[in-house]
Amino acid sequence: MKLKKLITIVGMLFITLTVVSAFTVLSLDSEQCEDCLLEGCTSILVGKDASTDGSTMATHTCDCGICDWTWYHVPAKDHKPGEKRKIYHISQYFTWPLEQGLKWERYKDNYTDLEIPEVEHTYAFKHGMFGYMNENQVALGESTIGCRRKMRNSTPSAKIDLTMLSILGMERARTAREIIQIMGDLACTYGYGFNDGGEMLAVADPNEVWIFEIMPVGPLWTPESGKPGAVWCAQRVSDDHVSVTPNESRIGEIDLDNKDYFMASENVKQVAIDMKFWDPNIGEPFNWKRAYSPSPGNAAGTQGRRGRLWRFLSLVAPSRNFSDKTEGMDFPFSVKPDKKLSVRDVMNITRDKLQGSKYDLVSGIKGGPFKNPNYYRGFKIDDKQYNRPRSICVNNVEYTTLTQCRSWLPDPVGGIIWLSFGAQDTACYMPIYNGSQDVPESFKIGDHWKFNRDAARWAFDYVDYHTQVIYSHAIEDVKKAQEKWEGGAVKNTPLIDKTAQELYKQDPARALEFLTDYTINYANSVVKAWWDLGDFLLVKYNHFRFYDSNTRKTKRLRTPDWWNRAVVEQDKLEPLPQAKPKKK
């Protein structure tokens, strides 16, 4: 090989590894990075007997702030014997400028040079950053959990990262257990990592919900070693329980003899032994999260920064009186909720900003005069750190998914992805039926760096932006719109289900057409309503006044007395001299 060509290849490899390392911040050793995982995604899981209607549910708050938000439907496809499936590296975080092409046009630039045997038939599915639901009602949510530093493998030997893994699973799986096994086997065979480290996927089908966690096995792994290129474990959430993953590993001690509740790779313990994370000779049982992703800390000791796990459990099971001083790793894997959760209950939990708790983001003056929970960001002053409590709802979310899988309905009707673009508190959940053969065109375009009225996501950001200024007033207008459109969709679901089910019995193709039309038309109506809502908020609260378009009158927007007193105290304002009483 000529020297010039060798230098070019080495240079390209160096650039590749540099880019990869730039986007693997969330894979840092949790013992050495207390804060690195706390801005990531939250995933909620609900067993079928813990929901009000018998559906399983799983969420993903795609908390990023710079990531691709576009959505697509991938049709089913038959494949000829001997066909190969090309494998690509797909970063969760990296996007291209719009003039260079959307992410799902450009990702094929990152071909890994690996082709694996194609299956005879691949299933239809919907995907955003990950695959979210396929035609069999197999559904996913995600949360980055991190792993020990020496486990990371950002080298080209790791051919499969998490996005690619989720897509392969969507293409091939019929059940939750099947997708877990498929993803685990592929990762072990071809090596997992490159763009990703420790990750969790909430895996659901109409009958079961599982937490699936996967880690790389270090940068020295090669296929020629004969060893698995990943280590993984999965635990089932009991049917009458709920669980949550807030960027923390949730699986503790495992019982592989209990096959109804546990699945794992063959090296699940051996990697820990080899890397000296666990010694079987000292008498302590193997604990997955303590071995591979230890994450010490609690809500109280971090000023609420580590508060999501405590907060979720407190919301769903207040009778348990969970303490914010409890270490995150000591909380139970799952709990039975005090009352069963409806789809609206779960939506509301994704909007939680610690209201009414000791970590309330608008208590005191932190939220400003109009109680904005996004104002207080945490800071360092006089060499002292003050944390912003981490709520489930944050305003850097790309979108939130709430997958609903229902066993009593045909798969095209039973599966729904409730999709909310942008910050949950100012957005609206829209139903995407599993049988829909497409998504709105406005879901397929846009990015953070260029405003675009043709992109659905910008409609919701438009409302969010106008809400921030006078939050306590504007959010009430947003809630009314949410009740009309989101509440209306939930209320109408039984009618849509019934119509689609009857059509499906007579003519499945007509049922799919009906579900496609409903999904697209309802979403388009919501997007238009949110553009109109943004215009309404701009006019109504313009210049810090109330503009009433019906009466064509305005009135002054007054700040509350507690805020005024705080200003007087802070700025040491002097009142105007009182007028002297007139002499009689």
Give the pLDDT score at 379.
87
In a domain, 1, yes or no: no
The residue with greater pLDDT, 246 or 3, is: 246
pLDDT one-digit tens code per residue, 296-342: 999 999 999 999 999 999 999 999 999 999 999 999 999 999 999 99
Which of 61-65, 271-275, 579-583 has the lowest average pLDDT? Answer: 579-583
Residue with tokens 């795609």: 62
Which of 4-8, 154-158, 174-178, 490-494 has the lowest average pLDDT? Answer: 4-8
How many domains, the chain?
A: 2
Cα 559 → chain centroid: 36
Give the pLDDT score at 349.
98
Residue with tokens 């009602």: 137
Under the banding of pLDDT at 50, 70 and 90, the label for residue 38 is low
The Cα–Cα gap between 339 and 461 comes to 34
**Angle 508-540/471-506 helices, nearest 10 degrees?**
170
Note whether 341 and 480 are same-domain residues: no
Give the pLDDT score at 7.
37
The Cα–Cα gap between 496 and 491 comes to 10
Note whether 414 and 287 are same-domain residues: no
Range of the domain at 159: 27-292+335-347
pLDDT above 80 (res 19): no
In a domain, 266, yes or no: yes
In a domain, 6, yes or no: no
Name, in order, each residue with C-beta under 8 angstroms of 263's C-beta and a sequence gap of 6 or more.
177, 180, 181, 184, 210, 233, 234
Give the pLDDT score at 39.
75
φ, ψ at 87 (rounded to 5°)? -110, 130
Note whether 129 and 249 are same-domain residues: yes
Mark which of 304, 323, 347 sits at the end of a domain: 347
pLDDT above 80 (res 499): yes
In a domain, 401, yes or no: no
Under the banding of pLDDT at 50, 70 and 90, the label for residue 579 is confident
Give the pLDDT score at 37.
54
What is the mean predicted confidence (pLDDT) over 437-454?
97
Note whether 170 and 286 are same-domain residues: yes
pLDDT above 60 (res 1): no
Note whether 534 and 437 are same-domain residues: yes
pLDDT above 50 (res 22): no
Give the pLDDT score at 378.
86
Note whether 340 and 413 are same-domain residues: no
How much is the pTM? 0.93
Task: Find out whether 503 and 443 touch, Cβ atoms under 8 Å.
Answer: no
Note whether 162 and 262 are same-domain residues: yes
Which of 33-47, 420-434, 520-534 has the lowest average pLDDT? Answer: 33-47
What is the mean predicted confidence (pLDDT) over 73-94?
97
What is the mean predicted confidence (pLDDT) over 28-41?
55
pLDDT above 90 (res 20): no
In a domain, 533, yes or no: yes
Q: What percent of the chain has pLDDT over 90?
A: 87
Record the tokens describing residue 240, joined without a space. Answer: 């009458």
In a domain, 505, yes or no: yes
Note whether 69 and 179 are same-domain residues: yes
pLDDT above 50 (res 223): yes
Mean pLDDT across the chain, nearest whole number?
93
Residues in the chain: 584
Give the pLDDT score at 518.
98
Note whether 226 and 112 are same-domain residues: yes
Amino acid at 93: Y
What is the mean predicted confidence (pLDDT) over 208-212?
98
Strand partners, 87: 114
Give the pLDDT score at 30.
41
Give the pLDDT score at 584.
67
pLDDT above 50 (res 534): yes
pLDDT one-digit tens code per residue, 379-429: 898 999 988 999 999 999 999 999 999 999 999 999 999 999 999 999 999
Give the pLDDT score at 91.
96
